Amino acid sequence: MCGRTACTLAPDEVSRACSYRTRGGQRRQPRWRDGDADKYRPSYNKSPQSMSPVLVSQRHFDKSAPVDECVLASMRWGLIPAWFKESDPNKMQYSTSNCRSENILEKKSYKDPLLKGQRCVILADGFYEWQRREKQKQPFFIYFPQRTSPSQEKEEDQQLLSPTYNKEKSETGVISPGFSEESEAPPEWTGWKLLTMAGVFDCWSPPTGGDPLYTYSVITVNASPNLQNIHDRMPAILDGEEEVRRWLDFGEVKSLDAIKLLQPKDILTFHPVSSFVNNSRNNSPECLQPVDLNSKKEPKASASSKMMMSWLSSSSPSKRKDPDANENKEEDGKAKAQSKPVGGLRLWLQGANKKPRTK
């Protein structure tokens, strides 16, 4: 299953972190739908009913858009079917935050949007999962392995999330809508490599009138071998630009063919984190900080987790929106007092490197 995620990038960073190639070979940065960048709030601890960034085909919103054009949208986690009759979406009587791939064609809530081509890619730094132990549950943060230098990724063109990073645009806050064939490709994005999870979405309109609400469900599959000791399920991961393109291209790739992409993938890495993340109101880098399960001392940094924490701690706050604690209800005084662990994190970052855990 997938019941908690983190997505800490600011809206303009999300755009740069998920560039894609058109069928003509042009590298583009997806723009946000009008107003959707303001609906999204970065968070270290996202739970169902929060707003998350998703990548979708622009043709869902504009029938005249090029077939290969993608757009970023903010959607609420937890699918509300278009046929839901209540006036309040919070009156849903069952959870739709996850959808099992094996049953996706058996349940109307998911079958209808799937057959309509309403497929999306949920973007996140990673997701949390809890391992059952004798007396408690141990949380883990699970994510794509991270590179520590641009030279480590030689197959950039085949990856969705080896995106472009334009320093000048970052400083001005201007988002490029894309790049023409004549324009020079900007420098490579060197921030966090976002996780790409397959999902379905729907659009619900209040029966009494009002703005439509876009919501999504994360599709899950059996856990890959290296994650089975943590949990028996995992999100359906789309690995690389081609898989993402095929999942989003509902015109060329029919639903029954797209479902074949939903397979366990033994490509993720992970590290244990503290129980601080258990409370969804806690929203700070401490949620992501690795812990040593066999020692009370601060752990040594793995290659991927060190890159993550270093990038988060050094990124200029002026380029980010502050995590919105209100997104996960109001935050209590204790959580506020624990929301400034930067000093401790920087001390932790001085630890020696070792290979990230993958089993």
Instruction: Note the maximum CA span of the chain.
Output: 61
Buried b (16+ CB within 10 A) or exposed e, 49-79: bbbbbbbbbbbbeeeeeeebbbbbbbbbbbb
- Characterize 255-284 residue by residue with b for buried, 16 or more Cβ atoms within 10 angstroms of its Cβ, and e for exposed: beebbebbebbeebbbbbbeebbbbbbbbb
Q: What type of residue is 20? A: Y
Catalytic annotation present for 2: yes
Is 120 an active-site residue?
no
Rounded CA-CA distance 291/279 in Å is: 17
Rounded Cα distance between 220 and 48, Å, is 15
Among 2, 7, 70, 120, the one annotated catalytic:
2
Would you say the C-alpha torsion 84, 85, 90, 93 has a positive or negative sign? negative
Query: How is residue 344 written in tokens?
Result: 């401790």
Half-sphere exposure of 103 (CA within 13 A, CB side): 10
**List 13, 129, 241, 331, catalytic entry:** 129
Structure tokens at 286: 């401490």
Residue 296, number of CB atoms within 10 A of its CB? 6
CB-CB contact of 83 with 111 (8 Å): no
Residues labelled catalytic? 2, 129
